[in-house]
Amino acid sequence: MKAAITATAKYLPDTVLTNHDLEQMLDTSDDWIKSRTGISERRILRDPEKPTSYMCGEVAKQLLEKRHIDAGEIDLIIVATMTPDMMFPSTACVTQSIIGAVNAWAFDLNAACSGFVYALNTAARFIESGAHKKVMVIGADKMSSILDFTDRNTAILFGDGAAGVIIEPAEEEGFGILDARLYSDGLNGKEHLYMLAGGSRYPASHETVDKKMHYIRQDGRQVFKSAVISMADVAEEIMKRNNLQADDVAYLVPHQANQRIINATAERMGVDHSKVMSNVAKYGNTTAGTIPICLAELDEQQKLQKGSNLILVSFGAGYTWGGIYVKWQ
């Protein structure tokens, strides 16, 4: 028995932060940002009283509405995030409380930008085993809460956003989440993209705040090189394992970090530009949110037909990366 996606939903905050806004705050330019990343603007959840769980709650409510089910029918909630409301309890438990999913168990999963593909694959196992009937998987990050808006290396890249899916047993054989390959490489990855403080290694102190250790830091060039290779490799691997030719792919749904990485992945797969989902220009990198936001947009635009082959691919801190093959039901 395979797991299939039966509902999608997204939440993007209303406040738009454009490249021109960033020009007023940083030594950067709209031209530089667009040409190096493809990003024009991103969304910011301005209200400090609204944490990541607020966006998860908005997504979860829409998912229930779209699927016409009560919260009590949800068996499990997984929230992929690296910007949880707090260290504990989990943002998944907070989300459970927002919607009143009294019969669910809930946990967070942190695989940074690969969080959604890790979570979707984890969730699929609970459906395939017959343990659960309805699982909610949400990818959400309030990246503005860990961005240093004086650091042009990172501030221009990220945005806030969330989206998710419900998965259930597929109605027919041969449909749903058909394959997944997930990877980690802490040996080569952990030094290049991180937030040092706030955990047990560097608990919060005046020093950690003064040294700006509660912000994301990235060696962009290193991450770029690894992302291009790993996303293209895993996309190719998924195609080979499932005997898919470029023409068989309805949509490549890549993590939205940089248009140049997206293009390189599509090129290696031989997939035409028109089949590559991209919204990085509008939202920047929303970390665990990017792939489900893409799925929700494709679904809203009614671009997904029964039998459409989708390849989801991600890359993020850790390093973590992976690919998932979905045949839409």
For ligand UT7, the binding residues (CB under 6 A) are 28, 32, 36-37, 113, 152-153, 156, 220-221, 223-224, 227, 257-258, 261, 285, 315-316
Question: Can you spell out the DSSP letters for 134-178?
Answer: -EEEEEEEEGGGG--TT-HHHHTTB-EEEEEEEEEE-SSTT-EEE
Catalytic residue check, 113: yes
Query: Which tokens in the block code for residue 18?
Result: 């454009």
Cis amide leading into 203 (omega within 30):
no
CB closer to ligand UT7, 39 vs 178: 39
The span from the first CA to the last CA of the chain, in angstroms, equals 13
The catalytic residue among 113, 132, 258, 309 is 113
CB closer to ligand UT7, 122 vs 285: 285
Residue 276: CB atoms within 10 Å: 20
CB of 178 to ligand UT7, least distance (A): 25
218 by DSSP, 3-state: which? strand
Question: Residue length, the chain?
Answer: 329
For helices 220-241 and 259-269, give the axis angle rounded to 10 degrees: 30
CB closer to ligand UT7, 112 vs 124: 112
CB closer to ligand UT7, 153 vs 308: 153
Catalytic residue check, 255: yes
CB within 8 A of 246, min separation 6: which ones?
239, 269, 270, 271, 272
Which stretches of the chain are DSSP H helices? 19-25, 30-37, 52-67, 91-99, 115-128, 152-155, 186-189, 206-210, 220-241, 259-269, 280-283, 290-300
CB of 151 to ligand UT7, least distance (A): 9
CB closer to ligand UT7, 153 vs 278: 153
CB of 130 to ligand UT7, least distance (A): 35
- Give the Cα-Cα-Cα angle 78, 114, 236 (nearest 5 degrees): 125
CB of 182 to ligand UT7, least distance (A): 16
CB of 315 to ligand UT7, least distance (A): 6
CB of 224 to ligand UT7, least distance (A): 4
Rounded Cα–Cα distance for residues 202 and 213 (Å) = 9
Place of tokens 């705050």: 25
CB closer to ligand UT7, 180 vs 227: 227
Per DSSP bridges, beta strands 105-109 and 76-80 are parallel
The catalytic residue among 255, 258, 294, 309 is 255
Catalytic residue check, 279: no
Per DSSP bridges, beta strands 320-327 and 176-184 are antiparallel
The catalytic residue among 110, 121, 285, 309 is 285
CB of 13 to ligand UT7, least distance (A): 19
CB closer to ligand UT7, 36 vs 268: 36
Q: Among all residues, whose Cβ is closest to ligand UT7?
A: 220
Cis amide leading into 283 (omega within 30):
no
Task: Tell me which residues are annotated as active site.
Answer: 113, 255, 285
